[in-house]
Amino acid sequence: MQVLRSLAVACSLAAGLVSSQTSNTQCVKGLKIFVSRGTGEPLVDALNKDTTLISETGLGNNTRGLGETGKLLMPVFDKIPDSNYTAILYTASNGRRGTNESNYFESVFNGTAMVRKAMTDYATACPSGKMAWIGYSQGAQIISNSLCGMPVIWAQFMPNPSIPEMISFSQPLPANVTKNVIATLLLGDPSHKNGTNYNYGSHNLTGDGVFYRGDTSACEALGKRIRSYCDAGDVYCDVGPAYSDAHVRYVKDRKEELVNYIVEQWNNGGETGEVSKTKTTTRSGASPSTTEDASSKAHGLSSTSILAIIMSVVLVVLI
């Protein structure tokens, strides 16, 4: 029975995955989950005979572009009927020597562009459709870039970048696009910043991410609709003296918690818990902090952003 159920779900999800990467967006009655894998995770798991992943997702051979986070999908689908997923099919590369892969910075820029397009396309085609976003490692960074805004220094990897395009990418996606994102999971995000109201994970973090984010106000404004998990010892999201296998253990150690978060957000209609000028509530693994009105800070360019754009233009000219 389990095999038949998994096969049926896999067949129905296959159409959603294929169509979602074209210009035709299919709306679903349930929850649309977008997944972006981490650096080095293969694009075509099934063709690479990753039988462990295939069996653990319960999705048959339909595991293209999922990575480790694919293991969260079936438990969510069991509790939220009429749902499916889309994998962001970006390179997730690190430009290792002796390969033709794009470097990490190009991969992040291109992945961010794909996330922004996918989120905008679904919000436009399905104005009442609910979305959840799950990203691991580099895949988490391209999601947070879209929801929080991409630091403009990365815009040098745009093809023929212009200042208007750089300004656009430096800003978080507008509320009319993100309003129906009911849940976001960032796992081991290299742009993690400690002390924000959406941090979860270890209480004993020793540092920020490798590419930590300077302005987190747009993501903080999402309130309960976003969680960033970073555990101590993860050298990508928690730069510090100690190394452990923390970076690869998020799904293994927290699978039930991660699934429950998405399901709870669906059941409560995507509760926002948006921040205000008052002190934020301490959460599991989060440090209490006092924030300004994040919604007002999420819009417009600061003088620092303008300077960064000018520096990016200079870099483009010099490179």
Q: Which pLDDT band, with edges at 50, 70 and 90, does 54 fall under?
A: very low
For residue 178, the model assigns a pLDDT of 96
| Average pLDDT along the chain | 76
Q: How many domains does the chain have?
A: 1
Residue 293 confidence (pLDDT) above 60: no
For residue 274, the model assigns a pLDDT of 52
Q: What range defines the domain where residue 37 resides?
A: 2-318
Average pLDDT estimate for 278-293? 32
Average pLDDT estimate for 64-71? 87
Among residues 193, 197, 227, the alpha carbon closest in space to that of 212 is found at: 193
For residue 199, the model assigns a pLDDT of 93
Q: Which pLDDT band, with edges at 50, 70 and 90, does 241 fall under?
A: low
Instruction: Return the CATH number at 77.
Output: 3.40.50.1820
| Radius of gyration (C-alpha) of the chain in whole angstroms | 19
Q: Where are the alpha helices (DSSP H) in the chain?
A: 2-20, 51-57, 73-79, 104-125, 138-148, 163-170, 175-178, 217-220, 250-267, 294-297, 303-318
Average pLDDT estimate for 88-96? 85
CA distances (Å), 14 to each of 17, 20, 35, 83, in order?
A: 5, 10, 14, 12
Given a contact cutoff of 8 angstroms between Cβ atoms, the answer to whether 80 and 266 are in contact is: yes
For residue 270, the model assigns a pLDDT of 80
Three-class DSSP category at 206: coil
Rounded to whole angstroms, how far apart are CA atoms 123 and 131? 9
What are the beta bridge partners of residue 84? Answer: 32
Q: Which pLDDT band, with edges at 50, 70 and 90, does 57 fall under?
A: low
For residue 124, the model assigns a pLDDT of 96
Burial string for 11-36 (b: 16+ CB within 10 Å, else e) reads: eebbebbeebeeeebbebebbbbbbb
Average pLDDT estimate for 261-279? 71
